[in-house]
Every structure is written in structure tokens, then in C-alpha cells.
Chain A
Amino acid sequence: MNLLKIENIQYSYGKNTPFEKEVLKNISLEVNANDFIGVIGHTGSGKSTLIKICNGLLKPDKGQIFYKGENIWKKGFDLKHLRFKVGVSFQYPEHQLFCETVKKDIAYGLVNKGVPEEEQESKIRQVLKIVGLQESYLEKSPFKLSGGEMRKVALAGTMVLEPEVLILDEPTAGLDPKTTKQVYESLKEYQAKTSSSIIVVSHSMEDISEYATRLIALDDGNILLRGTPAQVFSNTERLNDMSLDVPITTSILSMLAQKNPSVNTNIYRYNDTKAEIIRLLKDVKSIE
């Protein structure tokens, strides 16, 4: 059964004001255990709004959302409980952090969730490792950190709750390459352990193609493309029209294919790209 199901969602900001704006037009999406869904789309396409719909922070104007088959906007549904199960790390970490120390910030959700104090400690230490922050940070103020460090703290605060659906809005924007890799690897590890589903919004076609099993591409409140990365990234022109792009690996293969028609351009991961180029170079030898 799917964990989360979204059906024909429509949402406008500024309802019944002159500024009313329809931001999600007709969105449907099913999220299953072990999914790793990448969400791509131009700025303003509605990605962050969709995320807020997913954990019940915004109520859609039309359409329905089910968590394990239960309509989350039905009377009596425990929305607070939902927010522990569908965890979101928001786009701007500085908006998510508000305690006087890093430790209190990460512990905040645990306290709310009623996790006993002795368990909190070990969970926090574990999650620090995952995001790559030293324990010396625990007593620092989150507001005196660099942008990348703040993001790590915000991520830790979401992951520590061990949600079944983990949603991350541009989690690695501003993170250095090593930490970016660390975050994605830890997501994969977390998923392998828990069979949770993961949804990541990202502008990095490279990262998303390396890790996602399915992609959706939003454009002005509609999902215009969806499928496996191979399917989505086979639409270079449409992606460009949507202010998006293919990963650099795919674009290198396309350039090679102009002179070498045998090159498969429907490849996007780094290792597969390398293998395809080696195949091309070996083929030349064998033809001879």
C-alpha cells in the first residue's frame, strides 16, 4: 500500500484577495515505501508549496491527501501525529531553527514526540554523525553558524524523528561536495534500514540523477514530466523549456553522440557514463 497519496490537488495563495494566485493546478502523486522521488522544477513552480501540502501544513482547495489510506483532512485525523510520520526539512534552515543551542534545536521534535531524555542523547549523537557535524557544535547558537552548518542542523532535527516519509526541500543547496554526498548517502542508508520513502527537491540534476528512482518535473503548478530518471532526462528540449536541464553526464554523452552515433545518450549516472565512454573507446579497437 502507498504511504502517501495525493489526488488532483489544487491550491491558491491569497484566496479571495486581489493577489489570489493558483500555484498548484492539478497534482497527483503516489508515494510508496522505498521510493526515492526527486522533484525538479523552476523557481516558483510550486515545489515548496507541494511539500507543505504533503505534511498537512497547507490545506488544498481541491483534491485529497491520504496517509496510509486515511484522508488527512477528515474530521478527527491526528495532524500532529502525521507531522512526526511525514517529516519535512524546509528550504530555508534559518526559518526552521529557533532554539538557543544546536542541541535544543535538534531535540525539539524529540521532546514534542515524548521521547525519553535518555534516548534523546544517543539519537542526537547518531544523527550528528549522519550529517557530519562534530559534537562540539551542540552547545553553539544555531544563528552563529555558516549557512551550510545551519542546514546540517535543520536536517538533523528532521532526521532524528525517524519519519516514514522524509521530505527535504533543497537540502544540499550551499553544502560543499563532501557534505552533499554525505547527506545523500545517509538518506540511502536511512532508507535501507527503515524502508521509508524519501522525497528530495533539488536544482542539481547531477545529484538527483545519482540517487532518485523516480522523478517528477513541475512547471507552473503542473507535473509535466514524470518517470524514471532515464525517461525524464530523455527530454532535453522539454526540460530546457521548463528552465531545467539534463545532468552534465548526459550532456557530455549527447555531444559525443553527434560524432559517434552508437553512443547511448539515455544514461545519466556518473559510473554508467564512464562505462559507456569506455565501451565506445573499446569498440573502436574491436572494429579495427
Chain B
Amino acid sequence: MRSIIQTEKLGFHYPRQERLIFENLNISIKEGEMVGILGSNGSGKSTLLKHFNALIRPKKGAVLIDEKWNTKDPETWLDIRQLVGLVFQNPENQIVSTIVEEDIAFALENLGLPREEIKKRVNEVLKIVNMYEYRKRPPYQLSGGQKQRIGIASILAMRPKGIIFDEATSMLDPKGRKDILKIIHELNQKYGVTVLMTTHLLDEVASVDRIIVLNKGRIRFDDKPEIVFENREELEAMGLSIPTVTKLALDLKAEGYLTDSKKLILTKEEFVQAIQKDIGVRA
């Protein structure tokens, strides 16, 4: 399968730092994958992700996008940024215009697309993020989650193959968070967009295809959630955690319950099922 992002022995440090933030990272993200990136504060997640749309360039090794563009080559940057979009934590910082639809059209105008095409794309992406009714509104009237959806729409309008969500839900209220997560999953499943996301809310990455854990400048895990979350103690030692239901199930197991369920539990539904089964066995 085609790899949309590939790093080869990637190493980086900021100016005037002696030590590398990370080194020797070999990561390959395949087209259509949904990947969670975990790491404690300061572990280098944002720095790594900025390499993927050429906002930052390697100090060592290389980053290859779509198997053809090396981020070291400035001529590729425009193409790379259309191919891989980046959504940040704070929705306030991503909106520039005074009317929602203009904000989305803005980036497209810079691409020099014909007016008709721009209009078509703007409407299309606003519908995908469920914000079509808000197209004439000024952004300041929107909630945080709605602003974040507009940010996502602006990126979608570029028809990217991949979108990186760097803690995109961490400032949102519960509804805003749910809406964004739903859209992220839909983009991946329905539209085949490759998704990379970081979060500190472990429940949000229970259902991704793969989790990469960064620790002390290295990749400590790169595997399916049910395998990564087996390592509770180690994750906790590095400042991370596991999803609440997973923790609850493990704690119950430790006290002699749920002995029948072998697989790691990752969702509320699986948890309830396991409890009902345990009740059945006991009754």
C-alpha cells in the first residue's frame, strides 16, 4: 500500500539545543489509515507532526510525502501542504475572515481556482462538517466546536489525502468534542482520508487502526490499540494512561471478576457485554 508519510531515521532539534528532541524515527503512514500519536507533554508530538506538512524540516534523516516529495525541497512545500492538512488545538487561531464561507473560499482563491469550482467546494465541505446553515455567519458567533469544524472544512476544501489533528479536541466542550470525533471518523471511513491525531484523552484513540507512542525521543510502541494498551504500567510511568473502560475492566479482573474475557476491552459496549457474561456465568 502507498505510504502517504514516511520518515527515514528522522532526527530533530530546535536551534541552539544540543540534544535531539527525537532521533532515528522510522514511521510509515499508509493511505487510508487512522493513526493515534501519544506521548507526554513535551515528548515531541507537535514537532514531529509539523514535519509532515513541511512546516519543520529534518536535522537528520528525511521525510518523504506521498512517496515522491522530500520535505527538504522547498519546491514541494505548496504541494505538500495541500496534500496534508494540519488542524491545531485552538480554533481561534485558524480563522481569518469575517464570514464563514469566505474563510473557506480564501485558501482556494489563493490556489487560483475558478469561481464556480470554489463555490462548489465550499458548499460541499460545509455540508461534510455539518455547518452549511452557518455559511453566512460571522465566525465570532460560533462555538469553539463549530469554529474547529470550519477549520476542518477549510482544509478539506483543498482535497487533502491526509489530515493531522494536533489535540484538536482538547479545548472543546463535550458536545464539540463528540462532533469533531464523529467527523474525524467519517472522513476516514467514508472519504478515505488518512488521519493522524494526537490527544491526551485516551478514550478518543480506543478505535484507531494504530497507535504510535513517543517516549524519550524514540518510538516505544507502534501497534494496534489492543496491543499498546496491554502495557498499562509502562504507559502510566511515561505520563500516559489507558482508556477508562479498559482500566475498569483490568481492575475488576485483578479482583477476580471478568475472568472469562480474554481480549482487552476498549469500548463501553464491550465492557457491558463482558459484565453481562460474567453475571450469566455467576448466576
Q: What size tier do the contact residues of chain A reach?
A: 35 or more
Question: Is the CB–CB distance between B167 and A174 below 8 Å?
Answer: yes
The secondary structure that dominates the A interface is helix
A281: shortest Cβ distance to chain B, in Å? 5
Question: Is the CB–CB distance between B176 and A259 below 8 Å?
Answer: no
Residues of chain B at the chain A interface (Cβ within 8 Å): 14, 39-42, 46, 89-90, 143-145, 167, 170-178, 200-203, 236, 239-241, 244-245, 247-248, 251-252, 255, 257, 268-269, 271-272, 275-276, 278-279, 282-283
Residues of A146-176 contacting chain B, CB below 8 A = 146-149, 152, 170, 173-176
Question: Is the CB–CB distance between A173 and B170 below 8 Å?
Answer: yes
Question: Is the CB–CB distance between B42 and A177 below 8 Å?
Answer: no
User: Cβ of A33 < 8 Å from any Cβ of B?
Assistant: no
User: Cβ of A119 < 8 Å from any Cβ of B?
Assistant: no
Residues of A within 8 A of B171 (CB): 43, 170, 173-174, 203
Residues of B within 8 A of A281 (CB): 252, 257, 275, 278-279, 282
Q: What's the Cα separation between A277 and B245 when bound, in Å?
A: 12
User: Cβ of A251 < 8 Å from any Cβ of B?
Assistant: yes
Given contacts A248-B244, A251-B268, contact A203 B173 (CB under 8 A): yes
User: Cβ of A178 < 8 Å from any Cβ of B?
Assistant: yes
Knowing that A146-B42, A176-B39, A280-B279 touch, tell me 12 more A-B residue pairs with CB under 8 angstroms.
Answer: A44-B144, A149-B41, A178-B239, A179-B40, A203-B174, A240-B175, A243-B143, A251-B268, A255-B269, A270-B248, A277-B252, A285-B282
Question: Is the CB–CB distance between A147 and B46 below 8 Å?
Answer: yes
Residues of A108-159 contacting chain B, CB below 8 A = 144-149, 152
Residues of chain A at the chain B interface (Cβ within 8 Å): 41-44, 92, 144-149, 152, 170, 173-180, 203-206, 240, 243-245, 248-249, 251-252, 255-256, 259-260, 270, 273-274, 277-278, 280-281, 284-285, 287-288
Q: When the two chains form the complex, which single residue of A41, A179, A203 contacts B172, counting CB atoms closer than 8 Å?
A: A203
Complex A-B: 8 CB contacts under 8 Å: A177-B202, A178-B241, A243-B143, A270-B244, A277-B257, A280-B275, A281-B275, A284-B282
